[in-house]
């Protein structure tokens, strides 16, 4: 169903270069030490932040530029540390890092805290400022500074905490000696912090639109202990002037405690805090597209219920669609309770490996024949990894979705494969649709092809021949 095109491979594009650099540092012909490279974050410009274990017990932070396909060293810690979150400002003068406590190590960050959040000057490497020392996870993310020349001397940083609040730091910079960029009045930095979000249990960052989506209990935190099932999904829009506003409030009805812990979506990759698949009652993501659609997708599987329920809220259409699919529970594992949501322009693909693939039309939701439902062997996406290990990297400016294999360290561009849809049009075999009818599937496949035809006369000719 999907056509995958390789875009990035951590081993080929990063690790091989790291080994050469470490060999140079150690003044040896080849370096055979374990570098233990891992993803940290992907910034708006597509730059990939990563860390690795350097020689002599150091921890290094680097950036891969997809345009030049070059790697750059940003910063080196002189000891092994656990980097749980990282972000780089657009001008590459500041690095924000959250370090988590390594309980197995003898050298602790701070006896009073489990997480240390730092702001580091790296142009050139200079001072380090402690922003927070707390007992909860902290995510960091710089806002995009835009193209305004004045923005070179200011940066704006989000700190998102597991305690359920978001602060925005306004960092003023100064240029010294013609090239050195430093933080102005670092001792007053905490006074610039602005509280953006007060209470959330789920939060998603969209770097391309500079938005935060977060879920909060309707009524506020003072009702946290009550068995409520009413939530508000809010959207905060950040502008180039670095002012922000609440752009959307959407009521949702969910189970009283939908998440085992606070959920961070699209806010980097923390190898030291691996979520246990299947523990949450709800899995949710928000997708927007350049054609003007906005979809809120969430699933609600129940271990004791043979039916899987999932909902696609079409905000741009002011409606929602809830679907129920009966599953074979004997074939489910704890890693498979939730489906994966994959945006592909007009469609949202809902995929549960080994069970079904549902292509939900987000523009013409009135007619079910415009959505394609497949099961069995036809429903395999061939993701080349387990769906639980896939992170969806979605940007509304792009017509192609990207999928990150967290275990394999690979990124693939994914788009609907027209050849697969043509096979459905040509097939005369009985369908798995109720009653053995083939026409609903063929009509849905034809409609999907028409959406993706574009200006391809060869593909149009193939459709006519079916």
pLDDT tens digits, one per residue of 361-387: 888 777 766 789 988 878 888 787 888
What is the separation, in whole angstroms, between the first and last Cα of the chain?
Answer: 18
Of the candidates 331, 329, 357, 361, the residue with the CA atom closest to the CA atom of residue 345: 361
In degrees to the nearest 10, what's the CA dihedral of 351, 353, 355, 357? 30
pTM for the structure as a whole: 0.90
The whole-number pLDDT of residue 103 equals: 53
Encoding tokens for residue 98? 């959250």
pLDDT less than 50: residues of the chain: 105-111, 222-228, 429-437
The whole-number pLDDT of residue 115 equals: 94
Percent of the chain with pLDDT over 90: 53
Beta-strand pair 38-42/2-9: unpaired
The whole-number pLDDT of residue 228 equals: 42
| CB distance 425 to 466 below 8 Å | yes
- As a whole number of angstroms, the distance between CA 324 and CA 319 comes to 17
The whole-number pLDDT of residue 439 equals: 78
Encoding tokens for residue 244? 């922000």
- DSSP E strands, 18-151: 38-42, 48-54, 58-65, 70-77, 82-88, 94-100, 115-122, 125-134, 138-142
SS3 label, residue 297: strand
Contacts of 311 (CB under 8 A, 6+ apart): 296, 297, 298, 299, 300, 320, 321, 322, 323
Report CA torsion sign: 19, 23, 26, 32: positive
| CB distance 55 to 34 below 8 Å | no
């Amino acid at each position: 169903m999907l056509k995958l095109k390789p875009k990035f491979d951590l081993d080929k594009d990063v690790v091989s270069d790291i080994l050469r650099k470490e060999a140079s540092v150690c003044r040896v012909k080849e370096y055979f030490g374990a570098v233990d490279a891992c993803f940290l974050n992907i910034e708006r410009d597509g730059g990939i932040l990563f860390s690795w274990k350097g020689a002599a017990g150091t921890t290094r932070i680097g950036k891969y530029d997809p345009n030049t396909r070059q790697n750059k060293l940003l910063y080196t810690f002189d000891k092994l540390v656990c980097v749980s979150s990282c972000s780089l400002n657009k001008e590459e003068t500041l690095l924000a890092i959250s370090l988590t406590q390594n309980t197995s190590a003898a050298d602790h960050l701070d006896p009073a805290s489990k997480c240390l959040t730092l702001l580091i000057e790296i142009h050139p490497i200079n001072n380090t400022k402690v922003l927070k020392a707390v007992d909860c996870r902290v995510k960091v993310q710089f806002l995009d500074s835009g193209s305004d020349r004045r923005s070179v001397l200011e940066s704006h940083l989000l700190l998102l905490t597991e305690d359920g609040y978001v602060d925005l730091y306004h960092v003023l910079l100064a240029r010294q000696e013609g090239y050195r960029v430093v933080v102005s009045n670092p001792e007053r930095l905490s006074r610039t912090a602005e509280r953006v979000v007060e209470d959330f249990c789920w939060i998603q960052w969209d770097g391309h639109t500079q938005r935060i989506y977060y879920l909060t209990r309707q009524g506020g935190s003072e009702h946290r202990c009550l068995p409520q099932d009413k939530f508000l999904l809010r959207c905060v829009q950040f502008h180039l002037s670095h002012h922000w506003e609440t752009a959307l409030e959407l009521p949702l009805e969910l189970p009283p405690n939908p998440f085992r812990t606070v959920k961070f979506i699209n806010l980097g990759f923390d190898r030291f805090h691996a979520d246990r698949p299947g523990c949450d009652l709800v899995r949710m993501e928000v997708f927007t597209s350049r054609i003007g659609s906005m979809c809120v997708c969430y699933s609600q599987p129940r271990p004791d219920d043979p039916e899987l329920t999932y909902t696609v809220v079409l905000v741009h259409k002011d409606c929602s669609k809830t679907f129920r699919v009966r599953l074979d529970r004997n074939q489910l594992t704890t890693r498979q309770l939730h489906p994966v949501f994959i945006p592909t322009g007009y469609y949202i693909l809902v995929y549960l490996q080994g069970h079904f693939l549902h292509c939900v039309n987000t523009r013409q939701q009135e007619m079910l024949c415009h959505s394609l439902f497949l099961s069995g062997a036809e429903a395999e996406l061939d993701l080349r990894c387990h769906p639980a290990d896939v992170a969806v990297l979605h940007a509304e400016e792009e017509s192609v979705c990207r999928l990150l294999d967290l275990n394999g360290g690979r990124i693939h561009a994914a788009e609907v494969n027209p050849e697969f849809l043509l096979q459905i049009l040509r097939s005369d075999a009985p369908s798995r649709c109720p009653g053995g009818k083939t026409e609903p599937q063929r009509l849905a496949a034809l409609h999907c092809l028409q959406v993706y035809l574009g200006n391809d006369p060869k593909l149009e000719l193939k459709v006519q021949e079916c």
